[in-house]
Chain A
């Protein structure tokens, strides 16, 4: 009895002193009040974030294909799982031309993967993880409801081995962004830091909902060539979740994304130029007009007869309303982005009646959009 009592008292003393010691060692870490929300949000999103490791062939001898005369490169990026069957979304430019691809999951598993589908113009790629499921998928948030100042987390695998999160706020919601030579409206800008190989990861809010895919970090400034203002920092562009969700599930289903395209490059005009071009009074009053710089000869605009030097005032735009009637609207183009936004709204059967000034005469040119081909002229809309 004695020895048992002694043992239990020793146990208590040792146990309590150990507990006291532990609590003295880590008080601020365990009970840091500010970090609770961040930890919870990261815990919700992190299981679905994956590291995508790719091997691409840089050079292979065209004659001796089986020889070792080839250069390979290893690269990596981040992505995240959007469906429990194992489909993950990442950036197309990061996995383009991959010969072999493998995915590192949050639980440490390394599984092979394949490129299932991609959308070059929105720079999105769907990769299928080849392994036993189900996989943890992210929850999408509503990107149209975000406000400037909201706290967000950017997640990814900056060094390929562990998930890392960086904190920032939503800086602004931009009306548009010209990205990968393609016009993307309503993108999110954030100051949460993007690191090397972090691109392709999700941007999450504090509820653990994904607001978009980390798409691009603006890095170079050509503004003032001084020592102090040399580069751009933390001006990061996120492709919004509402578009991403729609495109991702279309791509998973094997569909191709339709990108209406005219094949036109245009610039804004000044009032003086419009007067010199002989624009009639009633058009000058409208204070609009863009001038065609270049046309892609494969494009519908060139085939319908639009030429370099034409000034496009606006368009009569016919489309089917949800109720099924044909609705005609008149739109004025003050800058090329108005045209780009307008073309983006078009379905395959819609048409635009462009109001064109050519050689000081008013004409109308009716244009049907084509699906944007892979060899579309760089920067054309």
Chain B
């Protein structure tokens, strides 16, 4: 007995020592200074004035190529044609707005220089690889030069009339992947019904974003840009949202190639509701489904529709129910209607609305696509031809 217990004890001590040794690695990852020093020279401020001289706006941006292309937000440049770009070293250069994609709040700006010049630039990551609890940091210039300063209430006699705009670093972790719900209210703010309506993840992090950080970059711990900062809110603490960089990359490629962003499109409104994402979610999303009782209807929904076909469609979490079809779209011409449930696309089963969107977006204009749907109790096949999604202000944002 004694021998056994001593053996046990020695084993325990050994195992404790082993865990202690592993500890040294974790600390080194916290030092962000070399990574920040690497990417900071590529961060810029984007400012513009309205034609009348009054008003204007501004935000941040990141240089993504050595010839001076800048990624920023649509709501930073809005309808401006020319903007002022301030580099990290304080140099001010003119910039031309090459194009925007209001559906993912993206703006592409090119620095204009008389002679070609090499700028410091950031590397872009693959935002599909982002995971929850990843260490991230955001860089931008909070504050707003055109409207003055943030600290009026503290300094009633503040007469320098400027809040210094400098690149600031904030650090945090990835908290969650959100459906783009805050952008519903942004529709009114920017008076553009297409604003932020592309069905893509908007990622929430704890790295603080203030007004003026918009258009700035969120980086992973290796210093690769993984997103474009879009929204911050201190009313909901640490609710800081950024768009994944892959949407920006696609937008920039299309703008440079075709002059506009082309989304292959069927015309289906399949916005993923909070109830579908999380059946325990209580609280409505007005206007999506009238007379929807989340607690009762979702139970019925799961029982009748999902579990019945669970054996057949194993990988599928929630088959998407069409919320509506865009007038004049391929879907309407093919006879699809609100209430139809889509089970497969071209014979392939998808997991959720995001995957369905990805399948349609990966096709090209002119392709024919076969939907296997159920209407009431009847299953049928519907074939339609993919078209290009109408550009704003047609209001087709939010449809796939």
A contacts, CB < 8 Å to B: 8-9, 12-13, 15-16, 19-20, 23, 27, 31, 33-34, 36-37, 147-151, 168-172, 174-181, 183, 189, 191, 206, 216, 218-224, 226-235, 265-268, 293, 335-337, 340, 377-380
Contacts and interface: CB of A to CB of B under 8 A. Distances in A.
B184 to A, nearest CB: 11
A376 to B, nearest CB: 10
Contact of B159 (A177, A220, A336): A336
A232 B211 CA distance: 8
Nearest to B1: A9
A98 B115 CA distance: 64
A211 B121 CA distance: 31
Nearest to A225: B189
A293 B161 CA distance: 12
Nearest to B166: A172
Contacts of A268: 161
* Count class of interface residues, chain B: 35 or more
A374 B189 CA distance: 46
B170 A20 contact: no
A378 B171 contact: no
Given A175-B164, A222-B150, A379 B1 contact: no
A148 B159 contact: no
Interface string B272-287: 0000000000000000
Given A169-B137, A223-B211, A229 B154 contact: no
A231 to B, nearest CB: 4
16 contacts: A31-B22, A36-B23, A149-B32, A149-B36, A174-B164, A180-B155, A189-B166, A191-B170, A222-B147, A227-B235, A228-B186, A233-B208, A233-B232, A234-B208, A267-B159, A379-B159
B155 A340 contact: no
B155 A172 contact: no
A136 to B, nearest CB: 25
Contacts of A20: 8, 12
Contact of A149 (B5, B137, B234): B137
A178 B149 CA distance: 11
A337 B231 CA distance: 32
Contacts of B6: 12
A183 B164 CA distance: 13
Interface in B20-59: 20, 22-27, 29-33, 35-37, 40
Contacts of B32: 149-151, 169
Interface in B165-223: 166-171, 182, 185-186, 189, 207-208, 210-212
Nearest to B35: A149
